[in-house]
Amino acid sequence: MSKSVTKYLSLATLGLLAVSVTPQLASAATTQSYGTQGEVTFTAGTDTTGPVDPQDPTVPVKPTEPDGVNPVGPTMPDSGLTIVYASSFDFGSHPVSNKAEVYNAAAQKLDDNTTRTNYVQVADNRGTFSGWNLKVQMTDFTTADSNLVANGHGTLTGATVTLGDAEIQGAGTANPADISSATTVLTPGVQSATILGATAGHGSGNSLLDFGGKDGSTKDTAIKLSVPAGVAGAAKYTADLTWTLDDTPSN
């Protein structure tokens, strides 16, 4: 065998030996996991946001009242469910008419001289999701004018108020009220059906009922006072509205 052939075989043998002694890579370590938890506790809330903008409930506002109006309420301490605000209605000043008339309530004024829809705002921070309902009742429109009272015309007999274009404004909460009445006619001495309410599982946070639509498009015409012919004297007449909220869920 020639020297050149011998050299070739020797190199090949060394190559095979090198392959046979190369160490194998170790397998990956076993993957582990470790579980932890997060925890939070809530209690029934007692603080509520004040009145908010009925067109943008994320913005606090300061509504102003018609001259001579001093709202009263709520009648019980806040237990987490409360009426935050309800508008008073200003139907303006008009000449005595010899026919039936309909008068629009002015839009709700704010302290910056802008206007919004008239509205009612309910807050539920109880954390029970047990529902609630809101109703309203109106008295007669009466006057303190002694002459009109003496001659039997101290009341706007037959007058009614229509709360129209009512729409739930729930943009301020992920879980708003889910029951409302688009139109409610108030007859003196008769409590309305549920005007705004929440079935079980709904109505937490701030819920508003806007008279004039969520966008306020009919804020100047949504609430109307209807007065029959021949009942109005030349005087100022007022009526009281009582908004009643209870923790019975709406149906």
CA pair distance 151, 221, nearest whole angstrom: 33
pTM: 0.85
Q: How is residue 8 annotated by DSSP?
A: H
Asked if 166 and 183 count as a contact pair (C-beta separation under 8 A), the reply is yes
E-strand ranges in 111-186 read 115-116, 118-124, 132-138, 160-163, 166-169, 179-180, 184-186
145 φ, ψ to 5°? Answer: -65, 115
Confidence (pLDDT) at 5 = 40
Per-residue tens of pLDDT for the chain, all 251 residues: 444 443 444 444 445 445 455 555 556 678 899 999 999 988 888 766 799 999 999 999 999 999 888 888 777 666 789 999 999 999 999 999 999 999 999 999 999 999 999 999 999 999 999 999 999 999 999 999 999 999 999 999 999 999 999 999 999 899 999 999 999 999 999 999 999 999 999 999 999 999 999 999 999 999 999 999 999 999 999 999 999 999 999 88
Side-chain-side CA neighbours of 221 within 13 Å: the count stands at 2
Helix (H) or strand (E) holding 146: helix 146-150
Count Cβ neighbours within 10 Å for each residue of 11-39 and write b for 16 or more, e otherwise.
eeeeeeeeeeeeeeeeeeeeeeeeeeeee
Hey, which residues does 167 pair with through a beta bridge? 210
6-29 residue pLDDT tens: 344 444 444 544 545 555 555 667
